[in-house]
Amino acid sequence: MIAEAAIAVILFASGCARSDSEHFHNIGSSTMANDSFEVATFGAGCFWCTEAIFSRLDGVISVVPGYSGGHVPNPTYEQVCTGRTGHAEVCQITFDPKRISYDELLEVFWKTHDPTTPNRQGNDVGTQYRSVIFYHSDAQRQRAEHYKRLLTESGAFDAPIVTEIVPFEQFWPAEEYHRNYFERNPEKAYCALVIRPKVEKFEKVFRSKLRQAQ
């Protein structure tokens, strides 16, 4: 069970407020459209859910679903679903650090999935659904490890946090039909029964951080 208040207090007390002095250099990402933008790569279960959540945040420029952390080049969705490629379903998030900080993205990451279930989110089971942060710089690694440690020590979760924190190496964009999946397929059962309730809860908790259009 997630103690949302505890997570918010920990992140705020440790400097989760935006800071123009914090700058994370990102290497190896093809999504950078502007030198002032930064990139985060998170795996938090099904990338349809992750994309639907992070794309609603003010300051997020783009969210691209895809695959990272495996050993098969340019994998297909069908290959990743076997669990034998080593990849996790992830979203690569390009954001403007002047509008939203990496720490704030970490807060959303840990509050919107269960980081205590190895290789599982709800009924989605397999290594491709593992909780993972692929850091793009040493600064990102330090922030992710710092907050994971604080959350563990605080007892914010009823079970140990199993989120992997590993260096970013390669990102393979998912097939076109996965992009904006929730927005384009709201009537499908998975979207209606799994993603929509998650998004609605997220919008209530993070109301102040949503895009103005929301």
Q: Which residues are marked as active site?
A: 46
Across the beta sheet with 60-68, the strand order is 164-167, 131-135, 38-44, 88-95, 60-68, 171-173
Q: Bridge partners of 166? A: 134
Instruction: Give Cα 90 to chain centroid, integer Å.
Output: 7
Look up residue 28 and give its amino acid: G
- 8 A C-beta contact, residue 119 and residue 130: yes
Q: What phi-psi label fits residue 124: left (phi over 0), alpha (psi between -120 and 50 degrees) or beta?
A: beta
Residue type, 178: H
